[in-house]
Structure 1
Amino acid sequence: MLETWMSIVGASMALAGVPQITRLLKRKKSDDLSLLLWWIILHGQVWWLIYGFWKHSRSLVITNTLCAIASITIIYLTVKYRKSA
């Protein structure tokens, strides 16, 4: 039961990056984003992912994999659109 609840909460966390990704793709501008913030967030997600593997927690692994993918996408788009400006 707890694992199911953690998966639901984790899915909502993974979706948190989608509005930022959408905004970056629409505006093609990233001057107002903090790159350092997203690196710090990614760093935390990687440690949670490692912890999830260590604890054999499927929900932690799935959640933090999805969150890390979103963060990496945001970092990539931020760098890309800063260079193209």
Structure 2
Amino acid sequence: MLEVLGYLAGGLTTLAFVPQVVQIYKTKSAKDVSLAMFLLFTMGVIMWLGYGLMTHSFPVVAANAVTLLLSLVILFFKYKYRDIA
């Protein structure tokens, strides 16, 4: 039961980033995304992923591996769609 809760929590928090990725891709704009926040968030996700690996917690590893991928996509879009004025 505890592991199921971990998978559900990880799945929901990971899926929460999908609409942001889709929105940025559709609008070709990431100007409203805070670069500082996403850099800090990405560092935290990397640390959670490391924690999950060290504690052999597959729900933590799975959720943070996918979240890291989504976060890196958002950071890539932030760079790709930056205003060069």
* TMscore range, shorter length: over 0.9
Root-mean-square deviation over aligned CA pairs:
1.4
- Structure 1, unaligned stretches of length 5 or more? none
Report the Cα offset of residue 83 of structure 1: 5.2
SS of corresponding position for 1:32: coil
Who is 2:8 aligned against?
A: 8
Q: Gaps spanning 5+ residues in structure 2: where?
A: none
Match of 1:58 in 2: 58
Query: What residue in structure 1 maps to residue 42 of structure 2?
Result: 42
Structure 1 consecutive aligned stretches of length 4 or more whose deviation exceeds 4 Å: none
User: Share of identical aligned residues, percent?
Assistant: 34
Provide the TM-score with structure 2 as the length reference. Answer: 0.93
Give the AA of the match of 1:32.
D
The Cα offsets for residues 2-45 of structure 1, whole Å up to 9 and x where unpaired, read as 01110111001111111111110111012222111111111001
- CA offset at residue 84 of structure 1? 6.7
